[in-house]
Amino acid sequence: MAELTERGMEPESGTASDQPNSALVIDGVYKGYGSDAARVSVIENFSLLALRGQFVTLIGPSGCGKTTLLRIVAGLLEVDRGTVSIFGQSVQRASAAKHIGLVPQSPALLPWRTVLDNVRLPLQVNKKPDSDGSRSHADPIAVLESFGLGHVVNRRPAQLSGGMQHRVAIARAFVFDPPILLMDEPFAAVDELTRELLRHELLSIWQANKKTVLFVTHSISEAITLSDVVVIMSANPGTIQSVIPIPLPRPRDDLVETTREFHEVERQIRLELRGSWRGAR
Ligand X SMILES: Nc1ncnc2c1ncn2[C@@H]1O[C@H](COP(=O)(O)OP(=O)(O)OP(=O)(O)O)[C@@H](O)[C@H]1O
- The footprint of ligand X (CB under 6 A) covers 33, 42, 62-68, 105
Closest approach, Cβ 31 to ligand X, in A, equals 9
Cis-peptide, bond into residue 237, ω within 30° of zero: yes
Give the distance, in angstroms, between the CA of residue 146 and the centroid of all CA atoms in the same chain. 20
Q: Which is nearer to ligand X, 155 or 218 (CB)?
A: 218
Q: What number of other Cβ atoms are within 10 A of residue 155's Cβ?
A: 15
Q: What number of other Cβ atoms are within 10 A of residue 11's Cβ?
A: 23
Q: Which is nearer to Mg ion, 17 or 57 (CB)?
A: 57
Give dist(CA 85, CA 17) in Å, integer.
7
Stretch that binds Mg ion, among 62-70, 71-79, 88-96, 123-131 (CB under 5 A): 62-70
Closest approach, Cβ 139 to Mg ion, in A, equals 31
Chosen from Mg ion, ligand X, none, partner binding at 57 (C-beta under 5 to 8 Å by type): none
Q: Which residue of 47, 54, 67, 227 would you call a contact of Mg ion, by CB under 5 A?
A: 67
68 binds Mg ion (CB under 5 A): no
Closest approach, Cβ 149 to ligand X, in A, equals 25
Q: Which is nearer to ligand X, 101 or 237 (CB)?
A: 237
Q: What is the DSSP letter of 177?
A: -
Three-class SS state of 178: coil
**Which of 131, 132, 74 has its CA nearest to residue 101?**
74
Question: What are the residues binding Mg ion (CB under 5 A)?
Answer: 66-67
